[in-house]
Amino acid sequence: MRAPILLVLAVFFVFFVPGCAADRHLKRGHAALAAGDAPSAQHHFERALHHREKLADDGVFLEELRVATRDAEITRGRVAMAKRQWSAAAAHFDLALEQEPGFVLAAEQRAVAGRNAAPGLYDAAVQRADLNDLPAARRFLDEALHMDPQHAPARAARRSLDAPFPDNANEQRAAALADEGRWSEAVALLAGVVRDEPDRLPARAALHATHGRAADDLVRQGRAALEVGDPDLAERRFRAATDFRPGDHRVRVGLRDADVLRGDRHLAEGLPGAAFLAYRRAAAVRADDTAIQSALKGAADELRRRFAGAVNVVAHATADTPHHGTHADVLARHVLRELPDATGGWVYADAQADAAQTTTLTLDTLEVVRRAPVISEERHAYTVEYAVPNPRLPGLRAELHRIQVCIADLADDEHRAIGRLRWARQRGDDHACSTLERRLRRIRRDLHDARVQRARLSEAIRCEPAEIIKTRTEHWPYVLETHTQTGTIAGTWRRGDGPAEPFDGTFTQSDATIPDPAPAVGLHPDPLVLDDEDAVHDTLLGRAATELAQRIAEAERPDHARALQDQADRVRDTDETQSRELEIAAVLAANAEGLSTQGVAVLDALTTEVFPALSASED
């Protein structure tokens, strides 16, 4: 029965369903064509042909499909024109003309789209020629002439591609100059040809190629100059290459390498300031170059070593105790040790230098006061464990007793059922025997389940603890002693004969202890930890020294920078190189914590002065 049904279904889907689909699409296609929706009509007619291939022999249907296709392509072309997609619009109108070659509306729209598409294609061809890609330029020109055969610039450019090159005196002269390495003259001649004949694409391509050859040749010459140790010639060659190919990464790298070579040379000549400027300009090309950053830091360190200022720090105490004098000496040593870091290395300690500025420290107070302990009563929380009877055991035992009673009842029922079954068999009562056998099986099944449940409960009772442990939180009262000590330092400092300025500082330390610990409840001994008096003195002296070093640096660094600048001004007429070194050192000394905007401007001006712009004409 099943096979005939499947056969009927197969015949229905093979022969009747496609025919129904074809009729449905034909009906929808006619409706869309009548409504002026040509794209939908084309779609439905094509689907109908897909479902019913015999429609390919129907002349009326083919005419309807042709008209729908023609009108659909015209509609798509108009949409593309509205979006200013001229090439796509022309392609749609070409498809419409394939359906009806003499259709006036499609031909007129095709002409409009072609005239609008041709200029863009011509411009694309010129751009490809400017990039020395003549095959691509040829393809764009062919497409432009396909769109508009009368487009005059495209026709002229297309003829130039078929003409020999070079074919005039300027082009030949430019080629000869390029072979001689006279790049500027060759580029000027080719640029004149392009200016006079903008449609001559081979000249445009040759101009781009000459630019590339010139840049490559000049970069090669710059690299050769670096190899022989001539950074000035290398810079001239690299900068000349930028005239032909702006933004060339090789030029940036070459200029960086020239500055590094120049910096190494200046450093070897004993001019760390000029070397610093060269390394700084090289670092501007690639700030993450660790070698350049290391060289830049080395030049700055050499400047600091050569032009750092000297200062001396002395200290005394106003108190009569000998310890205060010792502490004053310790304070002076701490300040001298921290002063170079505070000034960025531009000021160092030298009591023997003639020009050393003396800073006098006066220690008035250095004491440690320990206050009386503060007594407070606290409460310590601790946990106490206690046992209670297990509340689950009574319920488990009651359940076990109930199951024991149930087992006894089932055993009695089993005994009675066996006796009745034996009596029924003796009487030959088959119906009673069958009923009693079913009842006996049910009783034995229930009896088995009860015994299993009894075993499980017995095991659970055996594993269950008789008591369970609970916890509660209690509080233990105790006494807490808090000890506090405070150190104080105070004094004055004075630079040379200037006014005295105060300095001071405090250091407070606290700790607590438990006089009567109780380890049994978790209250363990807590010994008192406080620094001794000497340790507090060291802390106070160290903090005061750091503060004083910073304040002295804030006063010494600008004075030292001004002194360097004054010295640079004095020797400017007699030793310009030394004056420039001093001026660079003065800028770095004044901006030890980081270059300010003014400092950057001064260094940039000095860089321009030391390394003026080099051009190829200086050869």
Longest Cα–Cα distance of the chain, Å, equals 151
Determine the average pLDDT of the residues in 19-43. Answer: 86
What six digits make up the tokens of 89? 């619009």
Q: How far is C-alpha 148 from the geometric centre of its chain's CA atoms?
A: 50
Residue 167: C-alpha distances to residues 170, 204, 207, 325 (Å): 9, 14, 15, 99
Look at residues 542, 400, 495 and name the one whose alpha carbon lies nearest to residue 457.
Answer: 400
- Look at residue 322 in the predicted model and tell me its pLDDT: 56
Distance CA 331, CA 543 (A): 10
CB 276 within 8 Å of CB 589: no
Determine the average pLDDT of the residues in 468-486. Answer: 90
CB 292 within 8 Å of CB 282: yes
Is the pLDDT at 421 greater than 70? The verdict is yes
Distance CA 105, CA 116 (A): 17
Residue 29: C-alpha distances to residues 24, 68, 93 (Å): 9, 9, 22
Q: What is the pLDDT of residues 93-122, one digit of tens each?
A: 888 888 888 888 888 888 888 889 888 888
Q: 291 versus 15: which is more confidently predicted? A: 291
CB 291 within 8 Å of CB 298: no
Residue 16 pLDDT grade (very low, low, confident, very high; cuts 50, 70, 90): very low
Q: What is the pLDDT of residues 308-356, one digit of tens each?
A: 888 888 888 886 555 677 888 888 888 888 888 888 888 877 655 555 6
Using CA atoms of 169, 171, 173, 174 in order, give the dihedral in degrees to the nearest 10.
160
Q: What is the pLDDT of residues 171-186, one digit of tens each?
A: 778 888 888 888 888 8
Residue 284: C-alpha distances to residues 238, 252, 260 (Å): 16, 10, 12
Long-range pairs for 390-398: beta carbons < 8 A, 24 or more residues apart: 390/464, 390/465, 390/466, 390/467, 390/468, 392/464, 393/461, 393/464, 393/466, 396/457, 396/460, 396/461, 396/464, 397/461
Distance CA 562, CA 549 (A): 20
CB 292 within 8 Å of CB 286: yes
| CA distance between the termini of the chain | 106
- Look at residue 224 in the predicted model and tell me its pLDDT: 93
Please, which residues have CB within 8 angstroms of residue 265's CB and are 6 or more apart in sequence? 229, 231
Please, which residues have CB within 8 angstroms of residue 141's CB and are 6 or more apart in sequence? 121, 122, 125, 154, 157, 158, 161
What six digits make up the tokens of 278? 């060269």
Distance CA 547, CA 568 (A): 32
Residue 615 pLDDT grade (very low, low, confident, very high; cuts 50, 70, 90): very low
Distance CA 606, CA 274 (A): 9
Average pLDDT of the chain, as a whole number: 84
Distance CA 22, CA 51 (A): 5
CB 548 within 8 Å of CB 361: yes
Which of the residue ranges 167-171, 368-372, 393-397 would you say has the lowest mean pLDDT?
Answer: 167-171
Q: What is the pLDDT of residues 191-202, one digit of tens each?
A: 888 888 888 888
Distance CA 207, CA 186 (A): 9
Q: Is the pTM of this model over 0.75?
A: no
